[in-house]
Chain A
Amino acid sequence: MLTNLFPNVEWDRIWEATLQTLYMTAVSTIITFILGLALGIVLFLTSPYQLWANKLANWITGAFVNVFRSIPFIILVILLIPFTTFLFDSILGANAALPALIIGAAPFYARMVLIALREIDKGVIEAARSMGAKTSTIIFKVLIPEALPALISGITVTAVALVGYTAMAGIIGAGGLGDLAFVDGFQRARTDVTFIATILILIVVFIIQFIGDFFTTKIDKR
């Protein structure tokens, strides 16, 4: 029956494309989380009155974040082609999409990390300092745990955005559902393929959102 409804859909290819999308999203989300968190913490700690208050360092990090956050993703992908070729000797395949995905998403997430950290009660950081805590202790035992719900909901939003980015990365031949919808669906006028690819992308997004919301609520003890 499925064959009748969607005559042009090759389920093997759909499955393969879904796995590629999941792979790209998962790997880029994990690396974005780590890089974005590090960048966000540096942005926070170097801002005025904080532990590493330093105008120059804050300005440089802020400028880096702002520049890469402002470049439209589709242009970033093209700009990064030489860099990707250097890294992987190719611009094809799921791995080739990763540099663009991460460089596009990490600064975006860093901003959300900064917002989350600013929400922490200053008194709590002061209390930790008054106990003789090192900066590393403050980062891992105060900043991250106290901001965790916001950090998780932020990475959820970022992961959803990354699903969208993987679709765009399809234009440089990264594969995945976006690529399938565009090349197999749109360019060959097979609407049913585009439709199925869209449905699957939506399902992936809903699952990510559900997992994110679940953990955000579970860990929030405020």
Chain B
Amino acid sequence: MIQLDNVSKQYKTANGSLTAVDNVSLTIQDREIFGIIGYSGAGKSTMIRLLNGLEKPTSGDVLVNDVNISKARGNALRNARHHISMVFQHFNLLWSRTVAENIAFPLEIAGVKKDVRQKRVKELIALVGLEGRDDAYPSQLSGGQKQRVGIARALANNPTVLLCDEATSALDPETTDAILDLLVSINEKLGLTIVLITHEMHVIRKICHRVAVMEKGKVVEQGNVLEVFQNPQAPITKRFVTQATSTGQKESVAQMLEDYREGQLIKLFFVGDQTEQPVITEIIRKFAVDVNIVHGNISPTKSGPYGTLIVQLTGSDADVAAAIQYLENKGIKSEVISDVD
């Protein structure tokens, strides 16, 4: 378990002090994939570095597996780090070492004997799907392959916690998905806790169980990914949710209002199981309304599907209102789109 209690981190800069992390308290359970999302400068890079002591908090305590990382020094800290590995945005491989030698590096640091090391390296290369590339140098690998080496290296000492520092931000979308799949399979197969920071909602949606949203050093919102999606509170969370569902662009809403003048345009929010109910069919059967689907977007998340559907409802005002009420009763939130806001 990872626990942060009232953690703050201030930096001294030329023009005064800068608060990168501002009084954050968090608990991350074992075996979960926990995402921290925020735009650049939100303090998430500092935050993840507090978890392995690369940064020391100005105040507060950071506990990882009952070790107080913020107080640990010397050997105690180095030993703790053998169990808290990190994967980096820019891979940070040693160019002077081959794939196998890079993966062996943390084992050398931990003082593992050579024959055990070689056996472990073979296993890890197979685990991340890089068979046959043992003797290649990083310069001969693609970005995705480099990150696979980075992940294999991070797993070498059988860590309990894996920290991912924007691990997919330097990769193209297809490679990103492959690496995310690998992270999920590692989480399931090896049962380790993954903490990742990202600025992409896509990453959170695809693999995280829980999420914390950061802005200006503070955690403004946290919880189950689906709940945060369903009911975003902070303005910044709403922006991220919009980014993930991408139906909210003002231009397209204006265009829709232009194109569908009759009846009412209604945006429906589906979360989790409701996505599987045939509600549209039901309202057509039960009420004298016509339903025209204008725009739809359902995305799978780690804890169930999430999405929005924009429909045009035509019929008498009473029937339309009754249909909307029926949907509300089914637990589907709706929003009448009347104007561009």
Q: Could you list which residues of chain A lie within 8 angstroms of chain B, going by C-beta atoms?
A: 121, 123-124, 126-134, 137, 141-142, 145-146, 148, 219, 221-222
Contacts and interface: CB of A to CB of B under 8 A. Distances in A.
Contacts of B85: 130-131
Interface residues of B, number: 28
13 contacts: A123-B90, A124-B93, A124-B94, A126-B54, A128-B105, A129-B54, A130-B54, A130-B84, A131-B106, A132-B82, A146-B95, A148-B96, A221-B96
B108 A221 contact: no
B92 A123 contact: yes
Contact of A130 (B86, B94, B97, B139): B86
Given A130-B81, A132-B81, A145 B94 contact: yes
A134 B105 CA distance: 13
A133 B86 CA distance: 13
Chain A interface, DSSP helix/strand/loop, else mixed: helix
Interface of B: 52, 54, 77-82, 84-86, 88, 90, 92-97, 105-106, 108-110, 137, 139, 157, 163
A123 B110 contact: no
Question: 9 tightest CB-CB pairs across the interface, nearest first?
Answer: A132-B81, A132-B78, A127-B92, A123-B92, A130-B86, A131-B106, A221-B137, A145-B96, A133-B109
Contacts of B109: 128, 131-134, 137
Nearest to B150: A127
B88 A123 contact: yes
B12 to A, nearest CB: 12
Contacts of A221: 95-96, 137, 139
A132 B80 CA distance: 8
Contacts of A131: 81-82, 85, 105-106, 109, 157
Contacts of B79: 132
A138 B42 CA distance: 30
Contacts of A145: 94, 96-97
Given A126-B92, A131-B85, 5 more contacts: A126-B88, A130-B81, A130-B85, A132-B82, A146-B95
B247 to A, nearest CB: 38
Contacts of B163: 130
Contacts of A219: 96
A128 B52 CA distance: 12
A127 B86 contact: yes
A146 B96 contact: yes
A146 B86 CA distance: 20
A219 B92 CA distance: 19
B88 to A, nearest CB: 6
A141 B108 contact: yes
Contacts of A130: 52, 54, 81, 84-86, 163
A126 B165 CA distance: 12
Nearest to B108: A141
A141 B54 CA distance: 19
A63 to B, nearest CB: 25
Contacts of B81: 129-132
Contacts of A132: 77-82, 106, 109-110
Contact of A141 (B77, B82, B92, B105): B105
A141 B109 CA distance: 10
